[in-house]
Every structure is written in C-alpha cells, then in structure tokens.
Amino acid sequence: MAVSMDDDVPLILTLDESGSNTSAPNEQLDREDLPNENGGSYDIVNDVSSPATGDYHSQQRSARHNWEMNYQEAAIYLQEGENNDKFFTHPKNAKALAAYLFVHNHLFYLMELITALLLLLLSLCEAPAVPILRLGIYIHATLELFALVVVVFELSMKMRWMGFYTYIRHKRTMVKTCVLLVQFVEAIVVLVRQTSHVRITRALRCIFLVDCRYCGAVRRNLRQIFQSLPPFIDILLLLLFFMVIFAILGFYLFSSNHSDPYFNTLENSLVNLFVLLTTSNFPDVMMPSYSRNPWSCVFFIVYLSIELYFIMNLLLAVVFDTFSDIEKRKFKSLLLHKRTAIQHAYRLLVSKQRPSGISFKQFEGLMRFYKPRMCARERYLTFKALNQSNTTLVSLKDFYNFYEVVGLKWKAKRNREHWFDDLPRTAFLIFKGINILVKSRAFQYAMYTVVAVNGIWILIQTFMLQGGNFFPRDVPWSYIVFLTIYGVELLLKTTGLGPIEYLSSGWNLFDFSVTLFAFLGLLALAFNMEPFYFIVVLRPLQLLRLFKLKKRYRNVLDTMFELFPRMASLGLTLLIFYYSFAIVGMEFFSGVVYPNCCNTSTVADAYRWVNNTVGNKTVVEEGYYYLNNFDNILNSFVTLFELTVVNDWYIIMEGVTSQTSHWSRLYFMIFYIVTMVVMTIIVAFILEAFVFRMNYTRKNQGSEEDNGIVLEKEIAKEEMAGVIELYRRNCAASEIAPLLKVIAQMDKYEQTSMLFLGRRSRTKSDLSMKMYEEEIQEWYEEHSRKEEYQWQEDVFPSGNRMLSSGLRQRSQTVT
C-alpha cells in the first residue's frame, strides 16, 4: 500500500498486466471512485519526498518508464484530436511510434512542403518555360527525380508509422502513391528520351502540395467543395437543361437570319448561350436578330432572367445552405473528436491509486511531450486553470476544457498601469501628460481631420496633373508637412502608451507601417531612387484610418482580418486548380496564339497586330489578345485569371479554338464551371462567416467589447515552492530558473501570492461554442451514449481491436 500510495501506477497498464480485469476502463473509473488519500496539499510534494529502497528503485524505474510511455501516447492522442487526425492511424508499436515522431515534426513538414513546392515550381523551367528560367532537360529531370525520391522517403516513413494495412486503407496516401509512381515513370522516360513528351500528369503534382501537413486548410476546403458538389450539380443540370431548350429554340428562331453567326448551327447556338450565361457576349449576340426584329430581345431577356437572375442565384442559395450545414456538422464532428481524444488521453494519465483525476505530476509529464517549449510556470498555470474544483486532481469533466485552456498565454498581472510608472517624478508627469493627450478624443479627431485634409490634398494634387512622369524632382512641401505630423503622432503615441501597448493594436500597427512607407517614399524621392517611387503612391492608404470612425466599418474590417487566413487558404485552393488547368492548357495550347493568328475567326480583330504607315506616322493597330496565351506557366495563370473574371473570355476561347479544334471549347467550359464552383463557395463562405458574426453580435448585444478569452489565476508562494521542489527532482536546472524568478519577484514586492492573466484571441470555434450552446449539450449526450456502447464493445475480445490492442502491443515490446 505504501508503494502504491507513494508512486502511482498507471491505470491502463495495470489493467493489461492483471489481465483478468476485463471490465471497461471507464466503468472501472466510475466504480473505483476512491478519495484522494493525500488530502490538502499537492501530490507532487508528497510523492517525491518518500524514502527509497533498492527494490523500490527498480519498481519505481519501471513505473516511471511506463508513465513516460503513457505521457507520450496521451500527448499523441491530444495532438490527433487537435489536428483532426483519425485514431485509426494511431501508432501501434514502438517502431510505429518512432516513425510517428519522425513524421510529426516541423522539420519533416518543411521538407514535405519544400519538395512539393520544388515539384510545382519545376513547371517554370520545363518545356514551355518562362524564358529566363529555362533549364536543360537533364537538369530539370534530375531535379524532379531527386524531389520524387524525397517523396518516396517521406511515404516510406509514413508507411512505417501507419503499418501496411492502415496505409492501404488511407485513401489520400494511396492516391499520392499512385501519382508518385506515374511521375517516376514519366521522369525516367523524359531522361531516357531526352525530350519532354505531352505530360498532362504534371497537373497532378499539386497533390503533393495538398498532402502537406501545412496545407490542412486547403484539404478542408477541397473536402467542403466536394461535399457541396451534389446539390451544385443538381442545379447545374437544371441550368444546362434550360440552356439546351433555349439553344433549340434559338436555333429554330434565328438560324434563318444569315447575318447572324451565333445561331447558325445547334452547336454554335449552345456555345453562345453558354457564353451568354456569363453575359460576356451580351448584347452582341442579340444584335443581329434585334436589328431584324426588335421583339427578338424577348428571347434573350427571358433567357437571362431565368438562367442568370434566377437559377444562378438558386445555385448560390443551395451552395450557401449546404455550406452552412456542413460548417455546423464539421464543427460538431471536430468537437466530438476532440472530446474522444481527451477521453483517451485521460485514461492514460489516471493512476490506479487515484482514478478520479489527473495530478499535476502526470499533467506535467503530458505537457513535456505535448508542448515541450512551454515553460514550467505556464504548465502549472494551465493545470490550475483546468482545475476548476480547486482540488489536487483534474477530473475528466475539467479535463474536457483542455483545448480551450492550453492555448492561453500567461502573463503576470502588472502592478503598474503604464510603462513609465517606475520613472522619476518629472518624467512620470511628462509621460502621463502625453498619455492623457494621446488617449483624448480631441487628439484622435484632430488626427482624423489631418488625414482627411491630406486625402483631399492628394486627390486635388493628382487631379491637377495631366499625365506623363509626375514624380517631382524636389520633394513637395505638403509631403513633408503631413509626414511630420504623422511622425509626431507616432512618436507621441509610442511614448505615451509604451511601444508594446502601442503595437498590440492592429490599427496602430497599420498606422505605423503606412507612416513608415511614407517615410521610405520620402527617402526615395529625396535620393531620386526611381524604382521605389511606387511607395509614394501608397500614401492614400492613410485614408483607411478614417474607417475607424464608424462601428460598422470596424466590424467589417475586423471580420475581414478574421476571415483572412481562411480566405488565403481558399485562394490557395483556387491556385491549385489554376495550376492543374495551366499545365493542361500549356500542353495543348502553348504557342497556338500569336499576333494575327486568327484571321479566319470571328474574333480576328482582337488578335490583330498591324503596323500601318500613314503618311510619315506609324500607327500600330493592336488587339493585344495574343498576349493572353498559354506559352508558359505565368502567362497561363494570367490567362486563367482573365477566364475567371469571365468578361470577354469567349475571345480567348474562340482564338484558341480557331487555331486548334472545336473540342478545345470543352477545356474553357470546364474551367468556367470549376471556377464557378470555387467562386460560389467563396461567396458562400464570406456570406456564412459574415452572417454568423452578425448573428453572434446580435445574440450577445450589450456584452463587453470583444477582447478575446481572458482567465485569471492566483498562485501562492508555497504552491510555487512545491512546484519548484518537484522540478528540482526531475528536471534540468534550466526549467527551474523562471520559477525561481517568480519567487524572487514575489519577494521583491513582498507578496504572498501573484496574479497571472491567461489570454488568447477568440476563434471561430469559441463563437460556435457560444452559438450552439444548447445543441452542444445534446451532441455530448448522444455522443456519450454511443461512447458507452463502444466501451461495452471493448469488453468483448473482438471489440478492442484498435486502441487497447495497440496499447497492449506497445507495452509488450517496450517493457
């Protein structure tokens, strides 16, 4: 009993050893709800101060080893919960664990990312290459082979971690493997033949990027797009159906008009109505028939009203609806996944002696694996924050808040309000004055006025210019005046608020950078550095500060910043589609379009390039559209962006079609539909995010301004001493130093305890938690009912395939 009291034994391993005890661990927990025998003070102090004997030492070492394994596995569970990794890829034995640790590592992630990027960037140098980046076939094929070999290495490490069986069942990895094989074969073929063949498979390279750990957001977006597809396709069919009906109708009505090139065959009729859906050939497509019979406009008006103004909006509505539904379900599944992860981790951290909770010692062991860089003080504070009952143990219910609490950044609550509180009296008064001035409304409005005047000044100044190169040789005085004002403001604010507080506000950061840019612009002007003149032009961005004035703008801009990461990932997703289409476009259409290429087509004008000499003046008549080509990947990207914007895209399509075959249109149409999907998702996303936020503010009206999540915890001196004692036994001195500093600080201010503030910004997940508060309880109940069912299954031999068998295997191989 003395041993079991002094040195905890993990609950799970014991279960494994005893063997006979097959009841579900959770039930066990409920039944063995023993009181904490130590009572009062923290475990950690008592645990380590007990005397040690020889036999006890070896026992202790084995127990400690078991604990270490449990800590690590619990940390892995928590990581899996956080990253939404499915538990069936959980490492099952020591070898797998080693591979897991190797694979889940920022260095490894970075390697993944770099190889993926290298593969993608190779397209810059391959066959239809960007001129200045062209590389020899040997060079780029070798580079490619090298990158592919690295990918093979990565995949083999993954297979080691997952095991062959799981590896095969993991779809994404299997697809990646197949693509890898194809790429390998093709790269070797290129090397052998010493010439590039049509390699459309290069379009699949983006899979390597998508599979990167850092591109989780892109994967989520793709999943969401695919989930939104079924309803999307339904409505798309409706759209196409009406298009076909109108195409037949248009063909019958207008093909008798020989001056109408748009409806002379059913195919043309279809293609032109498809283009009309994007409105990019309107009103031209209507004009020949309109000039013959004014009433023919009814056909086009009805078509556009149905297709563009009704069904297209319906499409958005359906996608938006699916999207918000998916968002909610995703939130739910993620929440429950995290909960399960926490349960798994909890089981591993609970000791046999005190099965009702986790002691700090165990928690500290977990955190050493989960967040190695967290300092001892923060670990203890996190533990205290979790521990809402204020006993020595964290119960499962408390532990459920793990993810919410672990992200908090802890700081000692300052005793002084301003940074200058410790300065001598005179300095203090000066700075205090500045502080009051800077925080006053008058100062703020004065600055707004200056900004507004500056904006009007710039506008008038620009309006007075009449073209040409306007950058003055001398620096204009107005520039200097305004910049001086901004500089003084910056100085006052920094000194008045202290640099840290000043820069902690996003708006101040913005002010700062704009002023900095203006200063750089001044330097550029003063020293005549022409290439940097564009900086001067950024001055009007100062005007953005005016938008602070109104609440709606603050709201909108805040939402904008909140949306930014998600928007960026959506943009990246779009870029990945671009990449694939760019590769396909380059393979088929590179070099197809050039000046005066399409003289036989209906869009010849746009591709014309004529150098007329009229009298003694050379007049260049230029259509410019030959610039929108697929000659290299950069050009392709620009062309694809033009296709995305949709206006006049049919000129590009017809140009290419007239030089190749009319099947090329398929490429453009498919691209249009794909971008339509992605764009609709983007719109739905912005809508959803914005409406969600508005609903949230409406629901929580009257509550305090949004400052993120803040938690306050107090630590007494004795507690601190206890923690230090624990660390002194177990760890290196480096960990103890910050703790001692805290004690020193307490001594300095003669306090018996110290207040700490934990702070983090509010995430979408927090908002959702609050929005769905009631439903979440239902989900939990439903989930725990299912859970129970699963626990019960675990009792039967067939039930404990995955988790417990994994555990058992590992404990056998390690101990």
Least distance from its own copies to the Cβ atom of residue 121, Å: 18
Minimum CB distance to its own copies, residue 466 (Å) = 7
How far apart are the C-alpha atoms of 143 and 529, rounded to whole Å?
39
Question: Based on CB atoms, which residue is closest to its own copies, 150 or 575?
Answer: 575
- The one segment of 510-518, 551-559, 725-733, 805-813 that binds its own copies by CB under 8 A: 551-559
Residues 467-526 close enough to bind its own copies by CB under 8 A: 467-470
Q: Minimum distance from CB of 587 to its own copies (Å)?
A: 22
Among residues 111, 113, 155, 266, the one that binds its own copies under rule CB under 8 A: 266
Nearer to its own copies, 343 or 628 (CB): 628
Q: How far apart are the first and last CA of the chain?
A: 23
Which C-beta is closer to its own copies: that of 8 or that of 631? 631
Question: Using an 8 Å Cβ cutoff, are 103 and 85 in contact?
Answer: no
45 closest CA partner among 718, 722, 736, 717: 722
623, 607 contact by CB (below 8 A): yes
Q: Which residues, 600 to 659, sit near its own copies by CB under 8 A?
A: 605, 620, 622, 624-625, 627-628, 634-635, 638, 641-642, 645-648
Contact, 369 vs 75, CB < 8 A?
Answer: yes
Q: Which two tokens stand for residue 500?
A: 């840290």
Q: Which of residues 683-712 bind its own copies (CB under 8 A)?
A: 683, 686-687, 690-691, 694, 698
Q: How far is the CB of 192 from its own copies (least distance, A)?
A: 35
CB of 29 to its own copies, least distance (A): 37
Give the residue, chosen from 201, 227, 255, 804, that forms a contact with its own copies under the rule CB under 8 A.
Answer: 255
Question: Which 143-162 positions form the footprint of its own copies (CB under 8 A)?
Answer: none
Stretch (H or E) spanning 753: strand 753-760
| CB of residue 448 to its own copies, shortest distance in Å | 14
- Buried/exposed code over 558-597 (b: 16+ C-beta within 10 A; e: otherwise): ebeebbeebeebbeebbbbbbbbbbbbbbbbbbebbeeeb
Cα 672 from Cα 665, distance rounded (Å): 10
Residues 330, 768: contact at Cβ < 8 Å?
Answer: no
- Residue 399 or 626 having the CB closest to its own copies: 626
384: exposed, middle or buried (Cβ count in 10 Å: 0-12, 13-18, 19+): buried
Q: Which is nearer to its own copies, 181 or 694 (CB)?
A: 694
Count interface residues toward its own copies (CB under 8 A): 98
Please tell me the number of Cα atoms within 13 Å of 776 on its side-chain side: 15
Each as own residue / partner, the long-range contacts of residues 428-436 (CB below 8 Å, 24 or more positions apart, any chain) are: 431/495, 431/496, 434/492, 434/495, 434/496, 435/496, 435/497
CB nearer to its own copies: pick between 34 and 317: 317
Q: Which is nearer to its own copies, 281 or 387 (CB)?
A: 281
Shortest Å, Cβ 779 to its own copies: 16
CB 378 within 8 A of CB 739: no
Q: Tell me which residue of 592, 608, 815 sits closest to 94, measured CA to CA.
A: 815
Measured from the CB of residue 690, what is the shortest distance to its own copies in angstroms? 4
| Among residues 264, 730, 804, 809, the one that binds its own copies under rule CB under 8 A | 264
* Range 621-650 burial, b when 16+ CB lie within 10 A, else e: eebebbebbbbbbebbbebbebbbebebbb
Continuous H helices in 750-802:
764-771, 773-795
**Is 647 within 8 Å of 628 (Cβ atoms)?**
no
Stretch 742-781 residues interacting with its own copies (CB under 8 A) = none
Of positions 523, 547, 565, 762, contacts its own copies by CB under 8 A: 547
The least distance separating its own copies from the CB of residue 271, rounded to whole angstroms, comes to 13
Q: Compute the distance between CA of residue 467 and CA of residue 460 in angstroms, rounded to an integer.
A: 14
Q: Residue 431 is which amino acid?
A: F
CB of 218 to its own copies, least distance (A): 18
Q: In the complex with its own copies, which residue's Cβ is closer, 56 or 696?
A: 696
Query: Between residues 504 and 695, which has the closer beta carbon with respect to its own copies?
Result: 695
3-state secondary structure 475-544: CCHHHHHHHHHHHHHHHHHHHHHCHHHHHCCHHHHHHHHHHHHHHHHHHHHHCCCHHHCHHHHCHHHHHH
To its own copies, the closest distance from the beta carbon of 526 in angstroms equals 18
167-181: string of b/e by CB count within 10 Å (b at 16+)?
Answer: beebeebeebbebbe
Given the complex with its own copies, which of 94 and 567 has the nearer CB atom?
Answer: 567
Query: 421 or 530, CB closer to its own copies?
Result: 530
User: Judged by CB, which is closer to its own copies: 466, or 734?
Assistant: 466
Name which of 34 and 244 has its Cβ closer to its own copies: 244
Is the separation of the CB atoms in 192 and 227 below 8 Å? no
Query: Which positions from 269 through 328 interact with its own copies, judged by CB under 8 A?
Result: 279-284, 287-288, 290-291, 294, 297, 301, 304-305, 308-310, 313-314, 316-318, 320-321, 324-325
Nearest CA to 508 out of 520, 523, 496, 522 is that of 496
Residue from 67, 100, 251, 486 touching its own copies (CB under 8 A): that is 251
- DSSP category for residue 88: G
In angstroms, what is the minimal distance from the CB of 598 to its own copies? Answer: 16
Given 162, 350, 593, 682, the residue binding its own copies (CB under 8 A): 682
Q: Which is nearer to its own copies, 187 or 458 (CB)?
A: 458
Q: How far is the CB of 612 from its own copies (least distance, A)?
A: 14
Say how far apart CA 721 and CA 736 lie, in whole Å: 11
DSSP conformation class of 195: S
By C-beta, is 287 or 736 nearer to its own copies? Answer: 287
- For 395, the 3-state DSSP assignment is coil
Of the pair 357, 623, the CB lying nearest its own copies is at: 623
- Piece of the chain touching its own copies by CB under 8 A; list 204-212, 405-413, 543-551, 790-798: 543-551
* Nearest to its own copies of 388, 647 (CB atom): 647
Contact (CB, 8 A) for 699 and 740: no
Restricting to residues 414-473, name those near its own copies by CB under 8 A.
458-459, 462-463, 465-470
- In the shown chain, the binding pattern of residues 554 to 573 toward its own copies, with x for contact by CB under 8 A and - for none, equals --x---x------x---x--
Shortest spacing between CB 694 and its own copies, in angstroms: 5
Report which of 370, 404, 397 is spatially closest to residue 78, judged by C-alpha positions: 370
Q: According to the binding rule CB under 8 A, does residue 28 interact with its own copies?
A: no
Tell me the closest approach of the beta carbon of residue 594 to its own copies, in angstroms: 13
Answer whether the bond into residue 283 is a cis peptide, omega within 30°: yes
